[in-house]
Amino acid sequence: MKYCENILETIGHTPLVKLHRVSATLPCPVFAKVEFFNPGNSIKDRMALKMVEEAEKKGLLKPGGTIIEGTSGNTGMGLALAAVIKGYKCIFTTTDKQSKEKVDILKAVGAEVIVCPTNVEPEDPRSYYSVSKRLAQEIPNSFYVNQYDNLANRDAHYEQTGPEIWDQTDGKITHLVVATGTGGTITGIGKFLKEKNPNIQVWAIDSYGSLLKKYFETGEIDMNEVYPYITEGIGEDFIPQNYDMSVIDRFEKVTDKDGAVMARRITKEEGIFVGYSAGSAMAGLIQLKEHLKPTDLVVVIFHDHGSRYVGKVYNDQWMMERGFLDVKTVKDVVSSRRNQPLVSITADIKVSDVISKMRKYDIEHLPVFADGEMIGSVSESNLFNKLIDDVHLKDATVKQVMQAPFPIVSESTPIEKLSFYINKENGAVLTKDESGDYHIVTKYDVIQALGR
């Protein structure tokens, strides 16, 4: 029989996958080290287990103990898996900018999660760093992992991830690209690879709002560089001890928008459901394409799985609210018509009057209102079919011929999604603006908008 004794034995040996579409503008082959194949769906499983095992060897973590850590989610998941198998408790602190999915997953594997504010200094007693340190001092038989300064973090990648990449590329790798946070991944892998071939370039991808790039280039910790950003899992507002900047050759910053948009592209174009940091890493690589040549071979780390970001990066509404999607919405259609007032009718007028109104305003669809509420609808095609069958219906009232009310949609609804509502049976939708006024959007409006 071939089997694993427990889930921890499945950590590592993740696949290297060649990219095609998202790397099409680059002059050389690009491969992704797809780390969500680890059992906790991220690269952090590697160093989480290593840090626990080292703590056990040193007597810092004893039977029945409690593991305490500040985490953006993925390290917590790796630690929680180790705790489940080894019989420890877990308490994690995280920030309020992390996705709800990450917090829910940590709770699902038995961890207690404390959410702390993002926009505070690391030394602030409310920060997730400070809270985790305080809990470790207050709770008996506990171990504060401290992934930022715990060098077992980078040792895990020196011992595991680096050798895997070297073997998988037959030593042909020329560039390593990592969206970096704690510094463990890029330092550990980079150190191993440079020992094999000192000419290998190690590129770090940072986020705007992080001080890492400035520190790398100047040696200065400039807090003016620090401001809130949305990207999860990368960048820092201090310098973790896991960094060995001599291993890194270049830092490149990527915007929140570019990282999010690229993550969605990777998923749609490569079929690899990646997290936010993978998008940032790939976007950063493309920004640096002028430094590549056809003989190069690039490996990009895809840290974690997209399921952790379905409420954010993969949520159209979330993306649009932040201006990350250049999507035409119902509001765009209404605005393009300069907010022309809605033409409507009541149920008691004659069909012949409806036809006159349609001719006057050159419109095909009319909502039927009563006491400020839509109670039905009339369309030109439906009236035509009814009058062909019975010409005397022209003297009937709207109430006798009207159809169901048009669907009402939000102004922020993407035009592409109107196909769920506008179809052969229904030719229009209504939306309500911030002033409470209704506007109609028809099939013709959609065609016009998509053709611009």
Which residues participate in catalysis according to the annotation?
44
State both tokens at 405.
């009310």
What does 189-202 look like in DSSP terms, one character per residue? HHHHHHHH-TT-EE
SS3 call for 93:
strand
Helix, strand, coil distribution of the chain in percent, nearest 5: 40, 20, 40
Buried b (16+ CB within 10 A) or exposed e, 278-312: bbbbbbbbbebeeebeeebbbbbbbbbbbebbeeb
The DSSP string of 274-311 is B-HHHHHHHHHHHHTGGG--TT--EEEEE-BBGGGGTT
Structure tokens at 436: 């409470």
Angstrom distance (rounded) from CA 372 to CA 436: 11
Task: Give residue 256's identity as a one-letter amino acid code.
Answer: D
Pairing of strands 365-370, 373-379: antiparallel
> 10 Å Cβ neighbour count for 21?
12
Residues 97-100: contacts with CB under 8 Å, at least 24 apart: 97/228, 97/230, 97/232, 98/72, 98/73, 98/232, 99/73, 99/232, 99/308, 99/309, 99/311, 99/312, 100/311
Please measure the distance between the N-terminal and C-terminal CA atoms of the chain and give it in whole angstroms. Answer: 62
What is the spatial distance between Cα 43 and Cα 180, in angstroms, rounded to a whole number?
A: 12
Q: Which residues in 323-362 are b (16+ Cβ under 10 Å) and which e?
A: ebbeebbbbebbeeeeeeeeebbebeeebeebbebbeeee
* Backbone angles phi and psi of 283, in degrees to 5: -65, -40
The strands making up 408-409's β-sheet, listed across from edge to edge, are 408-409, 428-432, 438-442
With beta carbons less than 8 A apart as the criterion, state whether 26 and 291 touch. no
Is residue 36 within 8 Å of 299, Cβ to Cβ? Answer: no
